[in-house]
Each structure stands twice: as structure tokens, then as C-alpha cells.
Structure 1
């Protein structure tokens, strides 16, 4: 069993390197993968800090305000590993937002944007850290496990796509099985398997010669729903055992439903709920045809599916239920109002009576 431990260590902020390939960047359009041996280069570190500062999703401004108001409170130590390409430097694997916030504050102080006290500067530059200790062969595995515990089973700062990407690496790069990954991350093996399959399904779109340019990381959630629903994955020919679509044409039908349409029109399937609604549409050929019609909407297909469902439901209702409903309705008729029936109303009643007589005659004949 792979093991690792931690050593407490106070490290100067200047010796802490932000992770340029932080998983949280994977869904950022501005992100470009960096070479590991260049992590310590000033331009690389500056670009990483800018990425965290400029994207509002990372909420660095809010974190900086909190630090200024409350001070830097290291309730959880920053987790680091020694960085082999620059002596005395450490790569941050857990706590990048906190370190980025401190670096940003000190840079603003240096540039005259704000004024920090000598006590703040002292507090912000000496960082209580937990140095990860593991053999060279196990260090990458240990980093992934720590990030998984933190961002999959623990506080979910990562999005679903980043979490799934970590699972792919643990499975494909390290050769762990789903149960082992689940045990490490504190989630179920079923969940791990589903996330892995969803990433492989998304990968098929990324590699499709017609749709590769339209693939987006956001579609991960849609593929996650697809591989979870038997009727949906069967219709579009997704094969769990082969981890691919067996029918390229069917796969492209799904790609077409989730991709932006010509003229930047919204896709028909934009949320996991939309994909889930396919369970209601796909059992009906007519509704499915409406779904695939470029001029029709998802709601059009849902309306057709619902009308077909109701029609089928009416056809399949037991005779005793129908008769009971008729009796219940007739019991509410005001007897006195029958003295004022017009010719049309009398004709309607006679029609109902004749229909019931015919049904009774058919039923009696089958008994004979």
C-alpha cells in the first residue's frame, strides 16, 4: 500500500510556487498547460497569479478582503512538495488561492496600491506549511490523493470536470481500479465509474472530425447524465464495456443536440435536466422525430411525448376504472335539470347509453 506523511515547516512566501497546472484552471479558456521544469520562471508564476486574479470565479478579491480584515489565519496548513528545479523552492499542491491572495497583497503594497503594516508583511511572508513526504515514485500519487480528498470528498471548490479529470489520471496513469480510487477519495465506486465513463464519452466528441471544434468542457455534465440513463445511452449507442459509441451517426445526433446551433442559437440540450428529459421523449418515435427536427424545440418534443403518454394511458385504463369514473360523474348531475334537457343534450345521453349497451353486448358475447 502506498503511504505518505507530512512534516510541518514554516516557508517564506517567496519560496512558494503557485501551481501553473492547477486543476481548477482546466475549464478556463485562457489556460495553457505549462512545462513542469519551468514552473519557477518569473513569467510563468506571474501568468498564474494573473489567471487567479482576473477570473472572478476564483474569488481572489473576496479572499484578499477577508485576509485584510481578519489577518492570515492558517487554520489549515498549505500543503507543499519540494520543487526539484529550483533549490529551496516548494510547489503548492493545496492552498493555491491562499498563497495567490498573499502574493497579490504584497505586490500591491510594493506597487503603492495599498499600504500594509510591518506586522501584516511579517505575517503574510512566513507561511506555516505541511511538506508532503513520499518516495519519488509515489509523490505524484500522493498529490492526487490529497487533492481528491480535498476537492471530491471534501470541500468542493473544484468543478465536476476537474474532479473527473483527476479520476481519469488515477485510473489511466496510475493503474488504480475504481474501488481503490473510491476508497482513497471517499466516494462510491459506482460514482467513480460513472465519472470516468462520462469523461471518455466527452473525449469521443473532442476527437470527432466534425464536432471536435464545438466540444466544450461544460458538456461533461451532459455526458455524465447520458451514461447514467439506460434508455438514453442505448438510443445513442453508447457502450459501457467499450467506452465508446458504437454508431458514429447516433453519437453525432447527441453532439448536435448539445452543441451551439448556427447563428449562435442555444443548443437543445443545455442542462443535465434536459438530458434527463430524454427518458420521456425517446420511447416515442414521433416525439423523437420532433426532437431531431432542427426547426423544433425540446419543449415541442416534450409536449408530443406527454400527449402520447396520456393517450396510451387512456387506452390502457382498466374498464372498471372507466365505469367507476362515469358513475362518479353521473352522481353529480342535478336530477331536476334533466327536465330541461334540449334535443342536443338528449341526443348526447342516448349516444352514451347506446355505446354502453354495445360494450355490454360485446362483453356478454365473449362469455358465451
Structure 2
């Protein structure tokens, strides 16, 4: 009957393990908010540039500070976010439009030699095989841990499933994750086939600020992220307040958002944030925690299921170490991955 990892940890092994699980899920939301801040600052900067705003206003740092202070902070200070619960539908619509736009630009040759938005400097860095594979390809292991992860909410999803059963839950998971994988593959393929090795962590930054379809995609995605930000931030704030015993809602909000914004000033590559988060917390919530909790059950099943759980924990640790190493090398020493 538990609805989160903390409750599962408390039920299986006590308060200490419950706190470990709670801290891990809370820290993961730091990476989510950080990625959102980077996307908002980069995308809104490009949007302002598209509309001919002064260069001083288009600066990434200016946009990050302004959006954090005048838009994100007021939203995060709202105690009741019920009105934002429907923004997930807008987010799906924004993603579908972005996928369609990227497919159109991939097929119409606008960014190829002789195209309307061809950029020689960008094209020079895109030379590679259509599907080249090297050591840096391993970073996809980390990205997968973020792109296809809702495991920290799995207990709640199962609890709220109508006519729930393990078989019915597995069917829902297979369909939803299958759709998510298909959308990710379609987006990644369109972006890579258009820009090759020059593809950036935030693929929308590759598209020209003169491209009206790209501007519309940036507006749609940025609006969706802005509305989603408070929902992710609530998980961060509630987790920190619970773990540290804090009671001042407003002060905690300001301090935490200041920390996230400061990190966003220092880190500009959203791909690095996503990959590192996937490597560490994706491995924890997808592979390690569920199986570790199973192994802590007093009446756990022996034999093949127990062996599978132990093997999965070991595999999760290996993936975490490998993914973290590749993410750090790709960001700070990319030549070592060539």
C-alpha cells in the first residue's frame, strides 16, 4: 500500500534506509530543475533574438536572471499548483509539434548545402558517418536513464491504477514506455540526420533564429517547461523541508531556487546535466533501489528471482559508474572518447 520509495524503505528496513531513498529522489529533482533552467534561458534567449531584441537582453545570463526572478520564482511561491496540473497535455502537444517540425526540416533540406538556413560553420562540425559509433556513444546509456524513467513514482502509479494487477500494470508500462521510446528515437533521428556530429545537447539551439518554425517550437517548448518547472520544484522543496525539518516555505523556496539558478549560470550544457542525472539517479531508481528493496524483504523469494535481483543491482552499479565516467569525460575531456 505504500506510494513512494520512502514508504517502501520504511516498511522494509527502517528510517535510515527510508531517508537514503528520500534524499536520492529529492536530489534528482535538483537536476530536473537545473535542466529546466538551462532550457528556459537558452530557448528564451533565442526567441528574443528571433524578434530582434537588443543583444543585451538576449544574453543568456540576463535571460536566466530575469526569468528566474520575475517568472519562475512567483510561480514557485504559489502554494496551490492545481491549475498547472493540466500543463502536461500542453507539453505533449509541444513535443508532437517539435517532432513534426524537426522531421520537416530534416526532409526539406533547409539546413543542407544550398538550403535557406544553411550554416557553413555548423556544417563544418557535422561531418561524420550517418550512424557513427564510438566510445562517446555510451553516453546514451545515461540519457536513457532520464528519458525513460518514472520509476520513483511507480508505487503511486500502481496504487492509483484502476482494477490494478501486476499484469495490467505491466501492460500500461509497456505501452507508455514504448511510446516514449518511439518519440525519443524519432526526435533524435531527425536532429542527427539534420546536423550530424554538430548536434547540441539542446537540439533546438541548432536551428536558425530566422526559422519561423524553429521559433514556434522554442516558444511551445519553453512555455511548457516554464509551466512544468513549479511542479518539479515542489518535489525538491517538499523533500528538503521534510528531510531537514524546515518550516519557512518562502525562505526555503528563495534559497533553493537561488542555488539552482547559480548552478545554471555555471553549467550551460543541458546534455551534460541530463546525462549525469541519468547515470546516477536513473541507475538508482531503475535498477538498484527496486531490487535492493526486494532483497530486504523478510520473506523474499529465493532461487532465480533472488539471483536476478542481485544481478540487477550489480548491473545498475556498473551502469552508474560507466555512465558517470562517460558523461564527465564528454563534458571535460571529449578528446579521450574519440
TM exceeding 0.5: no
Larger strand share, 1 or 2:
1
Larger Rg: 1
TM norm structure 2: 0.19
Larger helix share, 1 or 2:
2
TM norm structure 1: 0.18
